[in-house]
Structure 1
Amino acid sequence: MNTSTPEALAEKILRGVGGPENIESLTHCATRLRFQLHDGEKADQAALDALDGVMGTVPQSGDRFQIVIGGAVAGVYSDIMNSPSMSGAGTPRPQSDAEVKAEIRAKGRGRFAWLDNFFEYLSDSFRPLLGVLLGASLIIAIASMLDAFGLVDFRSADKSATWVFVDSMWRSVLYFLPIMVAYNAAKKLKIDPWVGATVMAAVMTPNFTGMIGSKTPGVTTTTNTTLGTSESVAHVFGLPMQLNDYGGQVFVPLLMVALLALVYKGLKRIFPENVQMVFVPFFSMLIMIPLTAFLIGPMGVWAGNGLGTGLSWLNGHAPIVFAIVIPMLYPFLVPLGLHWPLNALMLVNINTLGYDFIQGPMGTWNFACFGATAGVLLLSIRHREKDMRQTATGALAAGLLGGISEPSLYGIHLRFKRIYPRMLVGCLVGGVIIGLLGGVNTKAFAFTSLLTIPVFDPMIKYIISISAAFFTSMALVYFADYRTKEERAQVNAERDTAEAAAGGKAVVPAQAVAADDRELVAVGAAATGAAGSAAGTATGAEAPSGGTPATSTPATGTPATAGKGLELTAPVAGRVVGLGEVEDPVFASRALGEGVGIEPADGHVVAPVDGELITVADTGHAFGIRTANGVEVLIHVGIDTVKMQGKGFDVRVAAGQKISAGDLLAEVDLAAVRAAGHPAVTLMTVLNTADMTSVEPHVGQDVTAGTPVVTVRR
């Protein structure tokens, strides 16, 4: 259970990014903290990834660093900004000559740093608007549902004042989107955001738009009888200026602010600081408003229309190809923040065509993503994974109700490589279906969630395609699992250990088990191996050296069964000791089962029993064997020898191999083990001790390899 407070998480994040003094600026979006660091190399990515509450990290060029938090990002951001240690952060500090040179070198890091900057500019111009865009999409969804049930004619040309007002509630966002984008884009480029907003607003005033199609002197309107379109041109100062309605346009403000930044910063170098407040905005407006009206505005409209027309052509001539390409691209674009250009095209389509054809296929990607999350949720319920169940529940709610995929991607999908291929199959299935059915359109920009289904037309085609995508991904993830068999056995063993500890049994908590030992718990096919081993030996006692062998019984107190049991022989020659005498607390506590330790006389390690090698550690320090009747045996050579990374271990077998008692497993250089500072004691335990009637270690004797040292009775 995660007991850390939000304040504790904030402080850990601050330490992870190199301390408050390493932070130049910090912002956040719907799911991520976005740091601009003085030195990106100081960020400890591994430590940050390991924090509870952190879904993942995304280092970027130019010392930018993103930390994915999910829906709680605003609270974590607030905790960080209100931290007393942040008082000295957020301002550039004086740099030495060496730091200046290092900064210049950092700007060239990566061949595509300019591409990172470009997409960062696009993303940061839209991200702050996620909330109002989502709010507008839900208003549209509610109105569309009422329309679908025949309660109101949402598309009527003569709506009542009530519904005209309701329309204004969502149109305010989409129509004035260019002003909002201009503000964010200017802020991103570190110029006065209000200047950017003002320049864009100038060509959206009623005075400007009122000239379109009017009989104002100097305005000429021509009609294309073939296309049924009209075009208005105003002659201003003797120069022709094409008139456009820029409501909903996004390319225009993006192009305009990029040029405005150059003008604004240039003017700041020209004017003295004491008059910049007046003259820099004045001349910026004087230069950029005409440039936008005469040149940038028409260019942005042409560019947006051209891209939209190209995609429309593909959608019209090869709809199946289009419907497949869109959902197959999005899983790779969204994690990198590269999906915003396509989102911008959706807005252009709505503004120019009156509808958009991208969001339908895109919806199949979103629902394939949410379906994969649902598969993970079902598995987490089945396997009693509390943390994953909480993560998947929150991510699924954010997806199905809000249409937001980042919590699923960063919290789950990108962490487990088995999910993506199965999710892509769902994307493919949904895309093929929507293509075969002839495509789906929408007249509103909407986050693709359950609540926005009514805005898509034909709705039934959309429901069929997203359902197919959702359930395909869910089924594939559920039946194939998002973990490998070994990972599943390990995680389930840790779960059972933790559950046994919570129930008051004498066990070592799963988090106390060393990484190499947790890996070895996966030897047991039964998920109860680790927990049961501890529970089953909690009352067991070792005999004194040279005395009667101790008997280990299950926690229920069932007496050991008389008669001959399975004999496990010594894997090495040497002195047999009880587990309580070894220096490793995990083995000593019997968290990995009852057994013995042997102080080895040589490094010749052999199999103690007939069976199958289930696990052979890459480093050669451990072996897991399962007998024909299900006894699971672990042989572990030395303590903490995983740190030797295989040096001194000559492994002679492989996982999956059938072996007989006495077969050579490995030759170990004991001198190298001891020289590295590790105890050489070789440990042998029965992982599923709890499933046995008794496990009886025979300690206090000197043995040769092959001598019986443990008796197991089922």
Structure 2
Amino acid sequence: MVKKSNMSAAEAIIDGLGGPSNIKFMTCCATRLRFELNDSSKPDKASLEAIPEVMGCVPQSGDRYQVIIGGAVMSVFNQIKALPSMQDGAETSEATENTEVSNSDIKASLRSGGPRGRIAWIDSFFEYLSDSFRPILGVLLGASLIIAMTSVLDAFHIVDFRGAKSPGWVFVDSMWHTVFYFLPIMIAYNASKKLKVDPWLGAAIMGALMTPDFQKLTTMASTVATKDPVLGTTSYMAHIFGLPMQLNDYSGQVFVPLLMVGFLAIVYRFLQKIFPQNVHMVFVPFFSLIIMIPLTAFVLGPIAVWAGMDLGTGLAWMNTHAPFVFAIMIPLLYPFLVPLGLHWPLNALMLMNIQTLGYDFIQGPMGVWNFACFGATAGVLFLSWREKDSMMRQTSVGALAAGLFGGISEPSLYGIHLRFKKVYSRMLPGCLAGGIVIAILGAAYGGVKTKAFAFTSLLTIPVFNPMWVYGIAIAVAFFVPFFLIAIMDYRTPEEKAAALARIKSEKKSA
């Protein structure tokens, strides 16, 4: 099955999957098209991966299939939906709808080779974390680039952000601060959607703790303020109808909405059972609000804040007292956590650190892994250019662009690294070398830190401090796997022989 010259990418993808009649369901996530097929034997993997817009394919358990596109996934998704042959065919869903099964399947198959992981509830837990964050990656990336822009202006002394800011730059701050201030509401919405609860209900409950009325409680005469002489922070205890309530600033919190929605799902389903269906619209939201807002304000919110602070403090202790171990451990763990979706708790901790400590110390070592990943992709691009392998060149160019300018590793991982057996053995030395650089050069500074949640790309280098340490570390991490792949290849002898045979065949048919 070969793509015809006059066939669009959308048409070629559907053709490679066995035609419109073989598509039962279609959706997409941040980088991948996800299909549920009628017959999983029909897709032609080689033809699909020969399409320039396709970075790779991942057959899944059952009749599910993933086609990796990268940053242009939504455009291709819309083009497929617009095809006349698809108008009366497959059921489709935008971005995050009904993705939980396919997400679970690919991660579980990586874990154990079966349709589910060894411990189902652990799979479900990490899927819950992942799907609560994944839909907002775009706005998080946009906000991080605004922060990077202001950091560049400050680093080159074009604008001084350390003193009093002009109204114009205060307004610019609001452009990125909106994402992180209202992050709990966004997470509550996505988490509720994941657990099949009315997402606006979850958002409203979290929003109640961020209203001016709730914040006004800190200024009430009956509220007791206590100053911490060590941290220099002030805690507040309000008295609501005679009951003590610890007041927290819930802006930027991530653990609070995640914990709250978990309990909301239990309450929501209980209320649906006890009330007749014809009055669900009135009484289920009403009782959910009057139960969950007090429960979150009095119990769940403070517990989640304490837990997040303790976790962050624990890792901060390790970063301070065992910096060498910490700087090496993080970049060596990430290559195994990210493909399985197990990195989300650390991402949540980064946001929590910024909220509670005012800075984060995990993203610096994490950037080492990212650039080792991108360096391996660059090595694949170098070899594909030398061998005139148009298919791998297209895949690696797209993946490298998504990585270097967006900080997104999925196209590299799913399009290249997990497909070829020797990539990880070339990439991990880069993770190790970059971690050692941060451990040695960053020791005098307490590691590499940042005050922003930044996707680790070329554009966000200025947000890290000390910038020169971070710059050297990611450069080492990038070039070690690049040269290892350029010299030693990324394929087994059998994989290389198959690739050269394919290239030779493509040249003959051209």
Shorter-chain TM band: 0.7 to 0.9
Shift of the alpha carbon at 1:285? Answer: 0.7
Name the structure 1 match of 2:257.
Answer: 253
Q: 2:236–2:246: 8 Å Cα contact kept in structure 1?
A: yes
Q: 1:327–1:428: 8 Å Cα contact kept in structure 2?
A: yes
Shift of the alpha carbon at 1:153? Answer: 1.8
Name the structure 2 match of 1:8.
Answer: 11
Q: 2:337–2:343: 8 Å Cα contact kept in structure 1?
A: yes
Shift of the alpha carbon at 1:192? Answer: 0.8
More helix, by proportion:
2
Q: 2:18–2:42: 8 Å Cα contact kept in structure 1?
A: no
Counterpart amino acid of 1:190?
K
Shift of the alpha carbon at 1:488? Answer: 3.4
User: In 2, Cα distance between the equivalents of 1:457 and 1:60?
Assistant: 44
TM-score if structure 1 supplies the norm length?
0.63
Note closer, same or farther for the CA distance 1:358–1:488 as it changes in structure 2 (3 Å cut): same
Q: 1:137–1:447: 8 Å Cα contact kept in structure 2?
A: yes
User: In 1, Cα distance between the equivalents of 2:140 and 2:295?
Assistant: 29
User: In 2, Cα distance between the equivalents of 1:286 and 1:71?
Assistant: 42
User: In 2, Cα distance between the equivalents of 1:259 and 1:430?
Assistant: 41
Q: 2:141–2:454: 8 Å Cα contact kept in structure 1?
A: yes
Residue 365, structure 1, aligned to residue 362, structure 2: no
Choose the corresponding residue for 2:325, options 300, 321, 336: 321
User: In 2, Cα distance between the equivalents of 1:458 and 1:45?
Assistant: 53
Name the structure 1 match of 2:467.
Answer: 459
Name the structure 1 match of 2:457.
Answer: 449
Note closer, same or farther for the CA distance 1:274–1:345 as it changes in structure 2 (3 Å cut): same
Shift of the alpha carbon at 1:500? Answer: 4.4
Q: 2:16–2:47: 8 Å Cα contact kept in structure 1?
A: no
Deviations 1:50-85 (A, max 9, x none): 623262326479x98654332232133324545224
Name the structure 2 match of 1:155.
Answer: 162
User: In 1, Cα distance between the equivalents of 2:475 and 2:376?
Assistant: 12
Name the structure 2 match of 1:499.
Answer: 507
Choose the corresponding residue for 2:480, options 472, 481, 490: 472
User: In 2, Cα distance between the equivalents of 1:294 and 1:17?
Assistant: 53
What aligned pairs does 1:657-672 form with structure 2 within 5 A after superposition? none
Name the structure 2 match of 1:345.
Answer: 349
Note closer, same or farther for the CA distance 1:413–1:231 as it changes in structure 2 (3 Å cut): same
Q: 1:80–1:86: 8 Å Cα contact kept in structure 2?
A: no
Shift of the alpha carbon at 1:161? Answer: 0.5
Unaligned runs of 5+ in 2: 99-113
Name the structure 2 match of 1:33.
Answer: 33
Choose the corresponding residue for 2:48, options 47, 51, 58: 51
Note closer, same or farther for the CA distance 1:456–1:74 as it changes in structure 2 (3 Å cut): same
User: In 2, Cα distance between the equivalents of 1:361 and 1:491?
Assistant: 35
Relative contact order: is structure 1 or structure 2 higher (C-alpha 8 Å, sep ≥ 6)? Answer: 2
Choose the corresponding residue for 1:182, options 182, 188, 194: 188
Shift of the alpha carbon at 1:20? Answer: 4.5
* Structure label with greater radius of gyration: 1
What aligned pairs does 1:138-153 form with structure 2 within 5 A after superposition? 138-153=145-160
Deviations 1:364-417 (A, max 9, x none): 000001111111111111111111111111111111111011111111111111
More strand, by proportion:
1
What aligned pairs does 1:596-615 form with structure 2 within 5 A after superposition? none
Counterpart amino acid of 1:30?
A
Deviations 1:603-623 (A, max 9, x none): xxxxxxxxxxxxxxxxxxxxx
Structure 1 residue matching 2:402: 3-state secondary structure: helix
Choose the corresponding residue for 1:312, options 312, 316, 319: 316
Q: 1:375–1:475: 8 Å Cα contact kept in structure 2?
A: yes
Shift of the alpha carbon at 1:436? Answer: 1.1
User: In 2, Cα distance between the equivalents of 1:390 and 1:222?
Assistant: 59
Counterpart amino acid of 2:11?
A
Task: Name the stretch that deviates more: 276-285 or 345-354.
Answer: 276-285
User: In 1, Cα distance between the equivalents of 2:301 and 2:388?
Assistant: 57
Q: 1:60–1:116: 8 Å Cα contact kept in structure 2?
A: no
Shift of the alpha carbon at 1:282? Answer: 1.1
Name the structure 1 match of 2:199.
Answer: 193
Name the structure 2 match of 1:603.
Answer: none
Name the structure 2 match of 1:136.
Answer: 143
User: In 2, Cα distance between the equivalents of 1:191 and 1:178?
Assistant: 16
User: In 1, Cα distance between the equivalents of 2:380 and 2:192?
Assistant: 41
Name the structure 1 match of 2:397.
Answer: 393
User: In 1, Cα distance between the equivalents of 2:421 and 2:15?
Assistant: 27
Shift of the alpha carbon at 1:211? Answer: 2.6
User: In 1, Cα distance between the equivalents of 2:20 and 2:57?
Assistant: 13
Q: 1:186–1:193: 8 Å Cα contact kept in structure 2?
A: yes
Residue 78, structure 1, aligned to residue 85, structure 2: no
Deviations 1:256-313 (A, max 9, x none): 0111111112212222222211221111111111011001100110111111111111
Q: 1:255–1:300: 8 Å Cα contact kept in structure 2?
A: yes
Name the structure 2 match of 1:402.
Answer: 406
User: In 2, Cα distance between the equivalents of 1:498 and 1:48?
Assistant: 16
Name the structure 2 match of 1:279.
Answer: 283
User: In 2, Cα distance between the equivalents of 1:154 and 1:170?
Assistant: 15
Name the structure 2 match of 1:414.
Answer: 418
Note closer, same or farther for the CA distance 1:59–1:241 as it changes in structure 2 (3 Å cut): farther
Name the structure 2 match of 1:440.
Answer: 448
Structure 2 residue matching 1:210: 3-state secondary structure: helix
Counterpart amino acid of 2:279?
V
Counterpart amino acid of 1:330?
Y
Name the structure 1 match of 2:489.
Answer: 481
User: In 1, Cα distance between the equivalents of 2:341 and 2:390?
Assistant: 30
Residue 122, structure 1, aligned to residue 126, structure 2: no
Structure 2 residue matching 1:211: 3-state secondary structure: helix
Note closer, same or farther for the CA distance 1:49–1:485 as it changes in structure 2 (3 Å cut): closer
Task: Name the stretch that deviates more: 258-267 or 218-227.
Answer: 218-227
Structure 2 residue matching 1:412: 3-state secondary structure: helix
Counterpart amino acid of 2:225?
T
Deviations 1:100-159 (A, max 9, x none): xxxxxxx99543221111111111100110110000010001100000010112233x21
Note closer, same or farther for the CA distance 1:186–1:48 as it changes in structure 2 (3 Å cut): farther
Counterpart amino acid of 1:243?
L
Deviations 1:237-274 (A, max 9, x none): 11100000011100000000111111112212222222
Structure 2 residue matching 1:33: 3-state secondary structure: strand
Counterpart amino acid of 1:5?
S
Sequence identity (%):
61
Deviations 1:188-220 (A, max 9, x none): 1111100000000000112212333x2x13211
User: In 2, Cα distance between the equivalents of 1:188 and 1:329?
Assistant: 27
User: In 1, Cα distance between the equivalents of 2:417 and 2:333?
Assistant: 16
**Equivalent residue pairs, number:** 478
Shift of the alpha carbon at 1:340? Answer: 1.1
Name the structure 2 match of 1:689.
Answer: none
Name the structure 2 match of 1:267.
Answer: 271
Counterpart amino acid of 2:87?
P
Structure 1 residue matching 2:418: 3-state secondary structure: helix
Structure 2 residue matching 1:242: 3-state secondary structure: strand
Residue 69, structure 1, aligned to residue 77, structure 2: no
Name the structure 1 match of 2:108.
Answer: none
Counterpart amino acid of 1:6?
A
User: In 2, Cα distance between the equivalents of 1:217 and 1:193?
Assistant: 36
Note closer, same or farther for the CA distance 1:297–1:14 as it changes in structure 2 (3 Å cut): farther
User: In 2, Cα distance between the equivalents of 1:266 and 1:131?
Assistant: 34
User: In 2, Cα distance between the equivalents of 1:112 and 1:261?
Assistant: 21
Name the structure 1 match of 2:248.
Answer: 244
Counterpart amino acid of 1:443?
K
Structure 1 residue matching 2:484: 3-state secondary structure: helix
Structure 1 residue matching 2:246: 3-state secondary structure: strand
Structure 2 residue matching 1:417: 3-state secondary structure: coil
Structure 1 residue matching 2:160: 3-state secondary structure: coil
Structure 2 residue matching 1:240: 3-state secondary structure: strand
User: In 2, Cα distance between the equivalents of 1:87 and 1:17?
Assistant: 7
Q: Aligned Cα RMSD in Å? A: 2.7
Q: 2:380–2:485: 8 Å Cα contact kept in structure 1?
A: yes
What aligned pairs does 1:313-712 form with structure 2 within 5 A after superposition? 313-437=317-441, 438=443, 439-485=447-493, 487-502=495-510
